């Protein structure tokens, strides 16, 4: 488990400073034992059977992590053809993959159908597009439920203003179209938003889904989606899996009694499985004290960890090494290594007096850390390591500057038809433009 002990961050029993010394910084570190514990918490809370957990790999698409999850009996949820390919490489069978996404092209739709994955239509137009393929006999429907979610919810996907999912008033039309296309609607799905900590909203969503499920004669599964919150700071509450599970168990039992058959329950946890199982390690490159503020510069940035910049989300930041000789604390603003003025990893937080060369750990970054990283300002993406017991494995190499130009074409490029090869300078030995 990732923990703080004797003024030091440990991943299992391995000091974070040793990982940073061995693999450099910035560095994403994942703890498999924490992942196992998070899966166990969910499975213990929900006694209903059949239950399928489908990891939302948009949270973390590292293939080594996905393989570990598959060994734990966790399936996968994907939303793009790229994620689908990653899932296939990680070894997931078609029956273990659920896909629902937006605005697929014709060729993408063809490949998605050919994969044999469980299909959930995001719109009536998408339902029609899937129906054009002979192999499609049944589909699920994704709904934008008529309900509210907590204020401040990231990516809310409910109500009439939702960009994704069918509105409740469109369900009857969708069912009519499906019947005309000789398709059975065998599943119903929803997604409320990102990182919701109050379990009651999911129970409310479940009640809406059950209402529609009872009207679907071919219903085989209910998918309540993801967005289950994670405590990313000590002052946040924890998602109550026990109360959620108890409420869901009772509701699924009543549905099965009403229909006189078992219905599969699907969940799509992402952050709740991987979020607190990861940290981002970074070195302090400079410290500036002026105008009553302390600005801490680091070797990472919004390019490596975008959530504070994109969503304004606050993550706990700790000194990762022994600092017992520095008891004086100060308020600091931790900045990234781009020139974007808003590139802060943390603001107005208290840390022991920090110095150049110190190692810091940004906590709870296993989800939407590397998967949202970019080449903004031509900053390179970090390496990733996986800790399993006392074993450490590099699961993604650190990028090099070659990554920035590998797919570019430059030099004296001829204007030719796309079917022809561009004439340009070799990327391995770039010359002047």
Q: Distance between CA 365 and CA 353 in Å, rounded?
A: 24
Least confident of 118-132, 261-275, 301-315, 399-413: 399-413
Ramachandran class of 298: left when φ > 0, alpha when ψ lies in -120 to 50, beta otherwise: beta
> Which residues have a Cβ under 8 Å from the Cβ of 169 and sit 6 or more positions away?
none
Q: Distance between CA 210 and CA 225 in Å, rounded?
A: 14
Nearest residue to 329 (alpha-carbon basis) of 301, 350, 311: 350
Sequence ranges of the domains in the chain:
33-274, 276-399, 408-433
For 186, half-sphere exposure in the C-beta direction (CA atoms, 13 angstrom radius) is 12
Distance of CA 60 to the CA centre of its chain: 5
Long-range contacts of 169-178 (CB under 8 A, 24+ apart): 170/124, 171/141, 171/143, 171/212, 173/124, 174/121, 174/124, 174/127, 174/141, 175/216, 177/124, 177/127, 177/128, 177/131, 178/127, 178/131, 178/139
pLDDT tens, residue by residue, 271-304: 999 999 999 999 999 999 999 899 999 999 999 9
pLDDT band at 367 (very low <50, low <70, confident <90, very high): very high
Kindly state the average pLDDT of the residues 417-425: 44
Q: Assign 314 to helix, strand or coil.
A: coil
Q: Distance between CA 98 and CA 176 in Å, rounded?
A: 24
pLDDT tens, residue by residue, 105-149: 999 999 999 999 999 999 999 999 999 999 899 999 999 999 988
Instruction: Tell me which fold the domain 33-274 belongs to.
Output: TIM Barrel (3.20.20)
> Which residues have a Cβ under 8 Å from the Cβ of 283 and sit 6 or more positions away?
20, 25, 26, 298, 299, 357, 358, 359, 360
Question: Do 276-399 and 33-274 fall under one CATH topology?
Answer: no
DSSP letter assigned to residue 80: S
For 21, half-sphere exposure in the C-beta direction (CA atoms, 13 angstrom radius) is 7
Instruction: Tell me which fold the domain 276-399 belongs to.
Output: Lyase, Ornithine Decarboxylase; Chain A, domain 1 (2.40.37)
């Amino acid at each position: 488990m990732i923990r703080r002990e004797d003024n030091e961050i440990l991943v299992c029993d391995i000091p974070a400073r040793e990982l940073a010394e061995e693999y450099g910084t910035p560095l994403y570190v994942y703890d498999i034992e924490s992942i196992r514990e998070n899966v166990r918490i969910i499975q213990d809370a929900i006694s209903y059977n059949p239950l399928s957990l489908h990891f939302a790999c948009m949270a973390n698409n590292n293939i080594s992590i996905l393989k570990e999850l598959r060994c734990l009996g966790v399936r996968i949820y994907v939303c793009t053809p790229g994620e689908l390919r990653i899932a296939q490489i990680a070894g997931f069978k078609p029956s273990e993959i659920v896909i629902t996404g937006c605005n697929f092209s014709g060729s993408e739709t063809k490949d998605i159908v050919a994969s044999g994955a469980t299909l959930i239509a995001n719109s009536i137009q998408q339902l029609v597009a899937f129906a054009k393929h002979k192999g499609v006999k049944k589909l699920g429907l994704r709904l934008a439920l008529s309900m509210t979610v907590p204020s401040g919810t990231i990516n809310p996907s409910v109500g009439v203003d939702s960009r994704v999912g069918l509105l409740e008033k469109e369900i009857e039309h969708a069912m009519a179209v499906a019947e005309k296309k000789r398709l059975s609607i065998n599943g119903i799905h929803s997604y409320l938003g990102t990182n919701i900590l109050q379990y009651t909203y999911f129970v409310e969503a479940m009640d809406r889904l059950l209402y529609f499920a009872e009207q679907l004669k071919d219903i085989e599964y209910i998918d309540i989606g993801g967005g289950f919150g994670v405590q990313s700071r000590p002052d946040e509450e924890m998602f109550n899996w026990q109360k959620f599970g108890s409420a869901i168990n009772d509701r699924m039992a009543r549905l099965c009694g009403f229909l006189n058959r078992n219905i599969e329950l699907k969940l799509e946890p992402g952050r709740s499985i991987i979020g607190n199982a990861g940290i981002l390690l970074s070195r302090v490159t400079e410290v500036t004290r002026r105008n009553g503020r302390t600005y801490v510069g680091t070797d990472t940035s919004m390019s490596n960890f975008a959530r504070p910049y994109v969503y304004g989300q606050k993550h706990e930041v700790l000194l990762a090494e022994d600092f017992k000789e520095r008891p004086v604390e100060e308020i600091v603003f931790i900045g990234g290594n781009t020139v974007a003025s808003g590139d802060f990893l943390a603001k107005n937080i208290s840390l022991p007096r920090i110095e150049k060369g110190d190692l810091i750990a940004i906590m709870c970054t296993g989800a939407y850390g590397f998967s949202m990283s970019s080449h903004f300002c031509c900053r390179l993406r970090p390496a990733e390591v996986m800790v399993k017991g006392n074993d450490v494995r590099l699961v993604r190499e650190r990028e090099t500057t070659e990554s920035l130009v590998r797919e570019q074409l430059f030099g004296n490029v001829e204007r030719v038809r796309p079917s022809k090869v561009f004439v340009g300078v070799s990327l391995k030995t770039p010359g002047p433009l």
